[in-house]
């Protein structure tokens, strides 16, 4: 720039001198003036060279199953879990139960009403059809008599004593028989139609209740594996359409990556994925929000989704992958270092060497990437331009080889008991008093172990009343049996037997409740909750006593705020102390990373399952002195962001300029040149190469 400005000053000075000369004597003969650029004072230059230039964006991602989230269709109170992460489920399986007690009672009452009506109708039809058959036969007999009268000759009628009165008598009987049959048929039709209407109404009502009950159940929408669950306390309110879990289809995998807009993907000149060192073609999948709006909408979860073209099914859930977006690329184009390019109001230019002299040279530029800018016109290959670009070949070199790269996830974890249940007052009849809780917080208990002592004051009047009712019912049954002729009392006998059975069951339950003195653990587990009480406090029906967490459905859990682990990953779970030494077991991650879930399901924790034998080992570590339970912390480690069979470049050999990675490649003559490459990622020591370098190349170490 300074040389060009000096040139402009020289021209201005010459013009001023010529104007002054015009006011005096005639000028001397003019000498031809040659305007030249100032002679270069240094030998700093770069050679115009052909290179490949490109601008690249790398999207880090994880291979996850296609996920369908589970919700209640209406707000519900949480009751319990039907399935837990890692379990295979079928479409329609219950993932979470809402409280169904009230609606179940309604369904039960209605079903009993329907069954009773059906039984009554069956009895009515049996009796009525029998009666109708008798009426029809009687009418037929009467018709036969009338036919006999009508078939008599005149002589037979005259010889028939009282013919006219007898004829009239049987005609009336025939008419009465016809009327009885018609009335019975009309009543049968009316009763049948009314029953059909009532039955249709009750069936519709039952279907509505059953549908309403389905709304109280959060059902799996598809077949697959349960890969996420939300956490609720018993009876806590779950709002409508709040995700309570997610089912993943391990046969339909997706690559979830950093956010990118579809338009950016479409504009890119090349888009592909790298998984386990292999290139795959990919297809961008619109987010549901973008598809719904038909616009350029970012997905609400902050991630992009790509479908990987993998007919051989080599890509597995849990694999780390990247998507490479080559936004623009120019191959084998003339280029110069960026610092050689100058710009002013007249345009873009360089200073090109002609011998030892630098010459102002306008140029047209193209793509700029990293250290270099494309020259579209104005220079030729081999030209030298002013630049401070330097490449020196160092003595320390290395040869590029393929290998494996990964980072290590390390976090503390502990046992998580997912099935938690409050042990409640088992007494339904009478008044229960809580005298003593026999366990303490975090104590381990066995199935059937006593957790509380209670005493029950029975309702003696109710028991006596029920026993008297039972005695009368048994006496009535005996009378029905005694007078049962040709099964005439069969229907009443059946109903009376059911009444007696219900009374006997109720009396038995009342006496059992009256004799109850203990509350027992329903399964083996850990006491994780207790009520506050004073001796003699009344326990309400279904009142809580202690909370137990089951040992049968246990996980190892660790914090994972960044979602580094996902379903398909393996982990090492280790523990070490002076008593047990060092223990290490393998675990499988059963929950999917947050990138596959809506925000409300992203809990920040990862669940892992181990074999039953290894879970016994881990549970044993939690066993403290005297059978007490203690929380032991395990070390969870896993290799994440791993990439196999990729070219590795030591970080000490890499120069990062303008977002582009370079290494000095040394040729056979010992000369070095910066060569760019696409880096897929790095660990503490190495970058791994997507493209741009080859195995066996010799590079310089900075």
DSSP per-residue letters across 279-330 = EEEEEEE--HHHHHHTS----TTSEEEEEE--TT----TT-EEEEEEEEEEE
Residue 477 to residue 491: CA distance in whole angstroms = 12
Hey, what are 655's tokens?
Answer: 């120069």
648: left (phi over 0), alpha (psi -120 to 50) or beta: beta
**Residue 605, CA distances (Å) to 256, 412, 441, 501, 590 in order:** 19, 11, 24, 52, 11
- Sign of torsion over alpha carbons 164, 166, 172, 177: negative
Hey, what are 195's tokens?
Answer: 């029953």
Residue 57 to residue 376: CA distance in whole angstroms = 24
291: left (phi over 0), alpha (psi -120 to 50) or beta: alpha
Residue 97 to residue 83: CA distance in whole angstroms = 10
Give which of 667, 678, 661, 681 is closest to 397, Cα–Cα. 667
- Give the distance, in angstroms, between the CA of residue 85 and the centroid of all CA atoms in the same chain: 10
Residue 480 to residue 230: CA distance in whole angstroms = 59
Continuous segment of H or E residues that includes residue 481: helix 460-482
Residue 593 to residue 338: CA distance in whole angstroms = 42
What's the pLDDT score for residue 39? 39
What's the pLDDT score for residue 652? 93
- Sign of torsion over alpha carbons 624, 627, 629, 632: positive
Hey, what are 567's tokens?
Answer: 């379903």
Residue 373 to residue 53: CA distance in whole angstroms = 8
What's the pLDDT score for residue 546? 94
Hey, what are 605's tokens?
Answer: 């924790």
Give which of 635, 621, 626 is closest to 578, Cα–Cα. 621
Residue 583 to residue 580: CA distance in whole angstroms = 8
N- to C-terminal Cα separation, the chain:
33
What's the pLDDT score for residue 299? 53
What's the pLDDT score for residue 19? 35
Residue 684 to residue 322: CA distance in whole angstroms = 18
What's the pLDDT score for residue 34? 41
Average pLDDT per block of 10 residues along the chain, 702 residues long:
40 36 40 41 78 96 96 86 93 90 86 91 90 92 89 86 87 92 93 94 91 83 95 86 94 96 95 96 82 52 91 96 96 96 95 94 96 96 94 89 95 87 92 94 87 95 94 92 79 88 94 95 85 92 90 87 95 86 92 94 93 80 57 90 94 94 89 93 95 94 80
Continuous segment of H or E residues that includes residue 680: strand 672-682
Give Cβ neighbours of residue 8 (< 8 Å, ≥ 6 apart): none
SS3 83: coil
Confidence (pTM): 0.70
How crowded is residue 647: how many other Cβ atoms within 10 Å of its Cβ? 24
Greatest Cα pair distance in the chain? 183
Where do we find the tokens 């939300």?
230
What's the pLDDT score for residue 626? 53
Q: Are 42 and 236 in contact (CB under 8 A)?
A: no
């Amino acid at each position: 720039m300074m040389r060009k400005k000096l040139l402009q000053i020289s021209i201005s000075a010459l013009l001023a001198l010529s104007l002054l000369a015009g006011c005096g004597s005639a000028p001397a003969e003019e000498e031809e003036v040659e305007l030249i650029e100032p002679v270069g004072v240094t030998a700093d230059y770069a050679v115009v060279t052909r290179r490949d230039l490109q601008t690249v964006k790398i999207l880090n991602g994880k291979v996850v199953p296609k996920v369908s989230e589970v919700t209640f269709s209406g707000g519900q109170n949480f009751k319990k879990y039907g399935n837990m992460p890692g379990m295979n489920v079928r479409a329609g399986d219950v993932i979470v139960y809402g409280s169904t007690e009230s609606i179940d009672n309604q369904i039960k009452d209605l079903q009993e009403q329907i069954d009773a009506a059906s039984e009554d109708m069956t009895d009515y039809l049996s009796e009525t059809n029998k009666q109708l058959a008798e009426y029809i036969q009687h009418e037929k007999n009467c018709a036969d008599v009338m036919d006999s009268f009508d078939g008599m000759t005149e002589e037979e009628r005259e010889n028939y004593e009282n013919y006219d009165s007898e004829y009239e008598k049987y005609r009336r009987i025939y008419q009465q028989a016809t009327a009885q049959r018609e009335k019975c048929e009309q009543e049968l039709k009316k009763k049948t139609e009314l029953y059909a209407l009532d039955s249709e109404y009750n069936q519709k009502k039952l279907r509505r209740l059953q549908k309403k009950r389905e709304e109280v159940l959060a059902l799996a929408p598809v077949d697959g594996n349960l890969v996420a669950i939300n956490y609720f306390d018993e009876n806590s309110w779950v709002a409508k359409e709040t995700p309570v879990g997610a089912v993943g289809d391990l046969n339909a995998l997706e690559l979830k990556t950093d956010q990118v807009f579809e338009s950016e993907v479409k504009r890119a000149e090349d888009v592909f994925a790298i998984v386990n060192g292999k290139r795959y073609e990919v297809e961008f999948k619109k987010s549901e929000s973008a598809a719904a709006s038909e616009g350029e909408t970012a997905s609400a979860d902050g991630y992009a989704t790509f479908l990987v073209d993998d007919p051989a099914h080599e890509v597995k859930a849990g694999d780390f992958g990247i998507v490479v977006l080559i936004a623009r690329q120019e191959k084998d184009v003339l280029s110069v270092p960026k610092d050689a390019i100058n710009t002013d109001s007249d345009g873009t230019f360089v200073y090109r060497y002609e011998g030892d002299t630098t010459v102002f040279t306008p140029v047209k530029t193209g793509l700029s990437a990293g250290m270099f800018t494309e020259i579209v016109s104005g220079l030729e290959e081999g030209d030298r331009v002013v630049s401070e670009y330097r490449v020196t070949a160092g003595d320390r070199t290395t040869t590029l080889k393929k290998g494996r790269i990964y980072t290590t996830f390390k976090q503390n974890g502990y046992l998580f008991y997912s099935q938690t249940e409050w042990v409640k007052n088992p007494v339904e009849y009478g008044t229960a008093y809580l005298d003593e809780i026999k366990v303490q917080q975090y104590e381990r208990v066995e199935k059937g172990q006593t957790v509380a002592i209670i005493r029950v004051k029975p309702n003696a009047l109710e028991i006596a009343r029920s026993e008297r009712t039972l005695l009368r019912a048994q006496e009535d049954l005996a009378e029905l049996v005694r007078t049962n002729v040709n099964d005439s009392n069969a229907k009443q006998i059946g109903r009376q037997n059911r009444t007696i059975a219900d009374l006997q069951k109720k009396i038995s339950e009342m006496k059992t409740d009256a004799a109850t003195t203990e509350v027992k653990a329903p399964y083996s587990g850990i006491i994780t909750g207790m009520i506050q009480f004073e001796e003699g406090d009344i326990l309400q029906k279904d009142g809580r006593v202690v909370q137990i967490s089951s040992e049968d459905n246990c996980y190892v859990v660790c914090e994972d705020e960044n979602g580094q682990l996902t379903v398909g990953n393996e982990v090492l779970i280790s523990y070490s102390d002076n008593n047990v030494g060092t223990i290490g077991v393998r675990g499988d991650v059963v929950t999917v990373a947050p990138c596959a879930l809506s925000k409300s399901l992203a809990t920040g924790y990862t669940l892992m399952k181990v074999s039953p034998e290894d879970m016994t080992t881990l549970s044993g570590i939690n066993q403290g002195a005297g059978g007490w339970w203690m929380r032991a912390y395990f070390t969870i480690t896993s290799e994440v962001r791993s990439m196999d069979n990729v070219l590795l470049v030591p970080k000490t050999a890499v120069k990062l300029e303008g977002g582009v990675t370079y290494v000095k490649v040394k040729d056979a003559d010992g000369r070095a040149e910066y060569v760019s490459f696409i880096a897929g990622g790095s660990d503490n020591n190495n970058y791994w190469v997507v493209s741009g370098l080859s195995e066996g190349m010799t590079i310089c170490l900075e």
